[in-house]
Amino acid sequence: MVVTAISVAEVLGALIDDSPYRHNAFRLGGLRVDATPRDLRKRQAELEAGEKLGVPLAGVAGVLPVRPAPELADVRTALNHLRDPVNRLMQELFWFWPVDGDDPAMELLAGGDVSGASDLWLRQLNRSGPTGGIAAHNLAILRQLHGLETQLGRCVEPWLEGLSAWNTAIDSEACWDRLLSRARHIDDRRLGPETIAELRRAMPDALLGMHASLIVRGAERGDTAAVDVHIEVLDRFAREVTRYRGAFTAATIDDARRSAARELAARLTAITDDEVETAVDQPRQGSTAANRMLDRANLSLCALDRLRAPGDPVRDGAHDRLVQAAVVCDARHYNETGDLAASETLFARVGPIAATEASRKALNDARVTVAEARIGWLCDNAMRDVDADERTGAEAARQLLDRAQAPLGVLREVRGPSDERLRKQLDRVAARAASCVVAYFNQTGDLEVAEQLLARVKPLALMQETKDVLHENIATLAAIRRRREKAARLIGTCWFCKAGDAADGKQHNVALHTDVARRGNTKHWQSLTANVPRCVDCWAEHNRKKAPLTTYTWVHVACWIGGFASLIAANNIPAIWTVFIVCLLLGMLTLLEVMRLKNAAWLDPAMEFPPVQQLLNEGWRIGVRP
């Protein structure tokens, strides 16, 4: 029976996937690859004896021993695998080959001088005959061992050197002649020239598959550095192979990238299925499950994006499954909790992942639904605040206008600026904000803030009914502003000269009274003083015209005081009559001056002052009292 290509690829793939070096029987058993069946039986006997005595096997540590040391049972199991001719040949392929006779490099390795052995093989690379090919093979083994088992594996160079060495070894006829010779020595009909040829052809795919597997395993462990290293190895090696012909080709490397992408996509599918199942079973955990899914998928998705370009069905399919799973999880969560914030946060994360038109449409439909729900919540919340306290209307309107921008932006982005659903939501926001502003103004009279807010609301109103209401509100505020400005001008300008600025404390006071009523022998009324604005110049002029009254009044008072003082001092009847007559005359002059001032034309404008006129029209009368 001849081993087929499929079986060779399968055995080779299984060997590499299970670590071709850490479980290599020759390494674990401390044997050379050309060990005879007698050597093998001897080592197995030593193992059995050591196992029975419970003591370590002396001398089992050969070239580059595994650390920590394996269990004796594991070594015995590995050696048993060498009984199978195919397994033996494969394990020989992945361990160091000595040059015929005493090999100095192998002695250096056995003594722990890895650097010395490496330098020797590097010098042997360009030699003719089997030496150059065997040196390339051994260097490839050494570089891969460094990559797998030391910190050098965090660097790209050892891996690239290992692939380059394998490329040389696979191209070397001497290597395969030696392997064919070993197959003949093993003497099994499955290991003929055809099998060796198939193995040679399968090697590039298998070796590159190691890097594909390491990418996937790195993503599973969350090891970003490992993922980056092995993707970079494939990228750089692809550029290298274009410069010279060899066993590896750009197509072979792309196959490895595609294989890693398929495995990563399968991992992503398992993650999405797992979290969707959680959301279905526990809807309240839907948002948590979706975000956990994105976290778990992040490294695998990034690696997949580096391996395959947009448009690749494996890549795009993985992206779309994540988007669809996130939408399903969110729908479960929202229907159970009504948590809009969680939906908005999730969709912001998912948006950049959508790769195809179908997934973008599904995501956008969900985003629109959430955006409309958010606008409705904002409108209702604003009205609740105003119903509780109308004085908060301005702040409620301001917050509504500010916070509605994000969901309105979603509608504008997804549906387009002329979409009917967007227009409806814009109008909805405009109507609610306008209602808040009107309530605020009715309570506070704050014209400035109300006008500013309605100016912000105006561009949002698109339905005719809302436009009409908003136009009416704006027109009402404009009329109120005109009246206030007129009143401000009225109060700020002297009413008498109509030119000077009104001065504080210089106004003319008009006494008024109303609601006169009798209660028994007593009159009751209300009184107030209307202030007519007046400038400093008019105030001085009016005081000048009132000066005679002031003079008469003070002389009148002085005469009365002087007369009575004289009366008390002299008890003189003629003096009393004289004082009486003088006071009487002064009183008459004072009364006449009062009448003159009361009827003075220069005071008439005060009665025409609009606030005074309004009070007179309301029933007020001139004078402090009836």
**Which is higher by pLDDT, 554 or 129?**
129
Structure confidence by residue, pLDDT tens digits, 240-285: 998 877 889 999 999 999 999 999 999 999 999 999 999 999 999 9
* pLDDT exceeds 70 at position 547: no
Amino acid 561: pLDDT: 63
**Nearest alpha-carbon partner for 319 in 310, 328, 307:** 310
**pLDDT tens string 147-157:** 998 888 899 99
Report how far Cα 351 is from the mean position of its chain's Cα atoms. Answer: 11
CB 516 within 8 A of CB 524: yes
pLDDT at 66: 84
Higher pLDDT, 334 or 49: 334
578 vs 88, higher pLDDT? 88
User: Is-contact 230 218, C-beta < 8 A?
Assistant: yes
Secondary structure of residue 36 in the 3-state scheme: coil
More confident residue, 308 or 245: 308
Structure tokens at 160: 């690239």
* Residue 561 to residue 559: CA distance in whole angstroms: 5
Q: Which residues contact 521 (CB under 8 A, 6 or more apart)?
A: none
Can you read off the two tokens belonging to residue 399?
Answer: 């917050």
Under a CB-based contact definition with an 8 Å cutoff, are residues 190 and 1 in contact?
A: yes
Q: How many C-beta neighbours within 10 Å does residue 446 have?
A: 16
Mean pLDDT (whole number) for 523-532 = 81
Side chain identity at residue 145, one-letter code: L
Question: How much of the chain exceeds pLDDT 90, in percent?
Answer: 48
Confidence at residue 210, expressed as pLDDT on a 0 to 100 scale: 93
Q: Which residues, at least 6 apart from 188, have a Cβ–Cβ distance to it below 8 Å? A: 85, 86
Range picked from 8-17, 148-157, 308-317, 468-477 for highest mean pLDDT = 308-317
Q: CA 38 → CA 34, 35, 42, 114, distances in Å?
A: 11, 8, 6, 29
**Residue-wise DSSP of 406-422:** HHHHHHHHHH-TT-HHH
Asked which of 109-113, 136-140, 242-246 is least confident by mean pLDDT, the reply is 242-246
Answer whether 0.85 is exceeded by the pTM. no
With contact defined as beta carbons under 8 Å apart, do 509 and 528 qualify?
no
3-state secondary structure of 186: helix
The CA-to-CA distance between both ends of the chain, in Å, stands at 137
pLDDT 10s digits, 30-47: 888 888 888 888 888 887
What average pLDDT is seen over the chain? Answer: 85
Tell me the average pLDDT across 518-525.
Answer: 76
Per-residue confidence (pLDDT) for residue 2, from 0 to 100: 41
**How high is the pLDDT of residue 577?**
64
Tokens of 446: 């704050």
78-87, 430-439, 481-490: least confidently modelled range: 481-490
Confidence check: pLDDT of 559 > 80: no
Kindly write down the DSSP assignment for every residue of 191-203, as one continuous string.
Answer: SSHHHHHHHHHHH
Count of alpha carbons within 13 angstroms of residue 279, beta-carbon side: 28
CB-CB contact of 440 with 449 (8 Å) = yes
Cα–Cα distance measured from residue 282 to residue 534, given in angstroms and rounded to the nearest whole number: 79
Alpha-helical (H) ranges within 571-623 are: 573-598, 604-607, 610-617
**Residue 1: which pLDDT band, with cuts at 50, 70 and 90?**
very low
**How many DSSP H helices and E strands does the chain contain?**
27, 3
Q: What pLDDT shows up at residue 61? A: 57
pLDDT value, residue 506: 80
Check if the beta carbon of residue 240 is closer than 8 Å to that of residue 247: no
Concatenated DSSP letters of 315-366: HHHHHHHHHHHHHHHHHHHHHHH--HHHHHHHHHHHGGG--SHHHHHHHHHH
How many Å apart are CA 600 and CA 237, to the nearest integer? Answer: 112
Q: pLDDT at residue 4 above 70? A: no
What is the phi-psi region of residue 258: left when phi exceeds 0, alpha when psi lies from -120 to 50, beta otherwise?
alpha
Question: CA 404, 405, 406, 410: dihedral to nearest 10 degrees?
Answer: 100
Beta bridge partners of 509: 531
Q: Kindly report which listed range (127-131, 195-199, 378-382, 434-438) carries the lowest average pLDDT score.
A: 127-131
Rounded average pLDDT over 375-402: 94
Check if the beta carbon of residue 487 is closer than 8 Å to that of residue 512: no
Query: Which residues on neighbouring strands pair with residue 518, listed in sequence order?
Result: 523
Q: Give the pLDDT confidence score for residue 595 in this predicted structure.
A: 57
For residue 338, pLDDT beyond 50: yes
Cβ contacts of 376 within 8 Å, gap of 6 or more: 428
10 compared with 365, residue with greater pLDDT: 365
Better-predicted residue by pLDDT, 96 or 8: 96
Question: Each residue of 565-610: pLDDT tens digit?
Answer: 655 555 556 666 666 676 666 666 665 555 555 555 556 677 777 8
CA distances from 5 to 8, 10, 81, 250, 509 (A): 5, 8, 21, 22, 117
Q: In what order do the strands lie in the sheet with 508-519?
A: 522-532, 508-519, 621-622
